[in-house]
Chain A
Amino acid sequence: MGLVKAYGDTRVLAGVDVRAERGRVFALLGPNGAGKTTTIRILATLTRADAGRATVAGFDVVRERRRVRRAISLTGQYAAVDALQTGAENLRMTARLAGLSRRDARRRATELLARFDLAGAGDRRVATYSGGMRRRLDLAAGLVGQPSVIFLDEPTTGLDPVGRQAMWDVVRDLVRGGVTAFLTTQYLEEADQLADRIAVLDNGQVVAEGTPAQLKERVAGQRLDLTLAGRAAYEAAVAHLDGRLVRRDPDRLSVGVATDGSAAHVRALLDEVDPGRGGVARFAVHAATLDDVFRELTHA
């Protein structure tokens, strides 16, 4: 609640409030530098907030740090496994550190390798793994202590589509098993695919929060780009649409406005902007990018 964090003069978080429901997937969506990683590190007890309070699994992240640590796992952007150890050695080591006996650690490692489709690679050094395998091993290492909350910091950044799909399946599977997942992502699609609830973070502040459906209502999924025929027509279009513009480019005499993509809506917009049918030179409909979403949301 009200998390604030600054590094020197740079204010990274300016009062972030989020609430993730037990047994669901919560996604923190935002561009690079929005404060996603800082938020997740504070919640995972690795960084201390300058102000504000947070509880994870019912425990305060500062005063009850140890109990929080026992209840969670964190999978970071960089796979936290030793490249020179084999997959099985990494898991056994982590299990031992989580307090398992030698025998239990061995059993748990075998179990996790099988579950994450790494059984065949368990005795190979991690250095030989693909990015997706590494990420899965990393996630597996986080699960040795059977956490009830898992934090995933950009779990699929840098993965190919197959690896991404496999990671999504793993997360869905975990959540079906009763785990709460809190993930950060810069991909709209990922949040849409996985999350029950999304908070959009920008410049250290939550600028929107809701279910994927609610957010989509606020942000049109598509954008109509209009290239105007001349400077005067451009100025007129900008003046007319003003607050509804999601994009403007004076050099190219081009503006963008949200649309649902239907022929009726596009036609209506064109008529509205250009009743005289001479002002718009070209138009194109684009699927909204994350940029549009942010522009739209920071406008509001």
Chain B
Amino acid sequence: MRDALVMIDRSVRLSRRTVDALLFSLALPVLLMLVFVYLFGGAIDTGTRYVTYVVPGVVLLCAGYSAAATAVTVAQDMSSGVVDRFRSLDVGATALLTGHVIASVARNAVSIALVFGVALLIGFRPEAGPVEWLAACGVLLLFVLAMSWLSAAVGLAVSSAEAASGFSFFVLFLPYPSSAFVPIETMPGWLHGFAARQPVTPVIETLRGLLLGTPVGANAWQALAWCGGLLAVSVALAAVLFQRRAR
């Protein structure tokens, strides 16, 4: 437990000091939102004001993307000698990766707050009360945790930081074929199945439901199942992958 706290302290400090990456991960979501609202928004009809429709999608896009940065930081640790030092001090995989994951959650908290702040400035008007906001934050937290742990496992699996950063691009594109930016009905028929069933869609619909008062329905438990499942699998996978290094 104390190891985990020391590792969190370390990862947060390292995050704060990679200024360029940090600024990028803060600025990118805001820029993307402005692009969607002002560039594409006029041409997209979602039945509501587009800014209202798109904000949950942008939040998820940025959460996934900046969580995926965990893969890079983990891969960097694994390819430097620092992991040997931790192992020789008997620091386990869980403590080391918890540090990375919590730092990712902290980065996300800042960037998501920033996105919501700018969104409110440009006309995003949620109808959520305190309880809904709390629930929305909970869903986001679970999503960020799951994506961060998944990324940590990917960071252990790949051989270099360069390969790990490829993963973040995959994650960056995952929200596009979902209900994040356009309603699924407007996509070609063959894409419906994937778009409706991939993990991002129920999470977004749950967020929309909570923030905008649209019906949540089965999306909530689907979102919880996806995130919970990903989280459990990733934590277990990470432990196995870390062990593999001992050979």
| A residues with CB within 8 A of B | 44-48, 66, 69, 72-74, 76-82, 84-85, 89, 93-94, 96-98, 125, 138, 141-142, 145
**Across the interface, which residues of A come within 8 angstroms of B2, CB to CB?**
96
List the interface of chain B (C-beta within 8 A of A).
Answer: 2-3, 6, 9-10, 13-14, 17-18, 80-91, 246-247
A98: chain B residues within 8 A (beta carbon): 89
Chain A residues in 8 Å Cβ range of B14: 82, 84-85
Q: Given A82-B10, A84-B18, A85-B14, are A97 and B81 also a contact pair (CB < 8 Å)?
A: no
Residues A48 and B88 in contact, CB atoms below 8 Å apart: no
Cα–Cα, bound, A274→B52 (Å): 97
- For the complex formed, measure the closest distance between the CB of B70 and the CB atoms of chain A, giving whole angstroms: 16
Q: Which residues of B contact A69 (CB under 8 A)?
A: 88-90
* Complex Cα spacing A160 to B78, Å: 27
- CB < 8 Å neighbour of B17 from A74, A76, A84: A84
Given contacts A76-B81, A78-B80, 20 further A-B contacts (CB under 8 A): A45-B88, A46-B246, A47-B247, A48-B246, A48-B247, A74-B84, A74-B85, A81-B82, A84-B18, A93-B6, A94-B89, A96-B2, A97-B3, A97-B86, A97-B89, A97-B91, A125-B17, A138-B81, A141-B85, A142-B85
A85:B13 contact, CB within 8 angstroms: yes
**B contact residues around A79 at 8 Å (CB):** 81
Which residue of A is nearest B83, CB measured?
A: A80
Do A96 and B81 touch across chains, with their CB atoms under 8 A apart?
Answer: no
Q: Is the CB of B10 within 8 A of A78?
A: no
B246 touches A44 (CB 8 A): no
Contacts of B10 in A (CB 8 A): 82, 85, 93
Least CB distance, A4 to chain B, in whole angstroms: 14
- Chain B residues with CB under 8 A of A66: 90
Measured CA separation A174–B212 after assembly (Å): 67
- Tell me the complex Cα distance, A79–B84, Å: 10
In the bound complex, residues from chain A placing their C-beta under 8 Å from that of B17 are 84-85, 125
Q: Which 8 A-B pairs have the closest CB atoms?
A: A80-B81, A80-B85, A78-B81, A84-B17, A76-B81, A97-B89, A96-B6, A80-B82
Q: Which residues of the partner chain B approach A82 to less than 8 Å between Cβ atoms? A: 10, 14, 82
In the assembled complex, the Cα of A74 lies from the Cα of B87 at a distance in Å of 11
Closest to A74 in B: B88
The residue in chain A whose Cβ has the minimal distance to the Cβ of B9 is A93
Quick check: A72 and B88 within 8 Å, CB to CB? yes
A-B contact pairs, 13 of them (CB 8 A): A47-B246, A74-B84, A74-B85, A76-B84, A79-B81, A80-B80, A80-B83, A80-B85, A94-B85, A96-B2, A97-B6, A97-B89, A98-B89
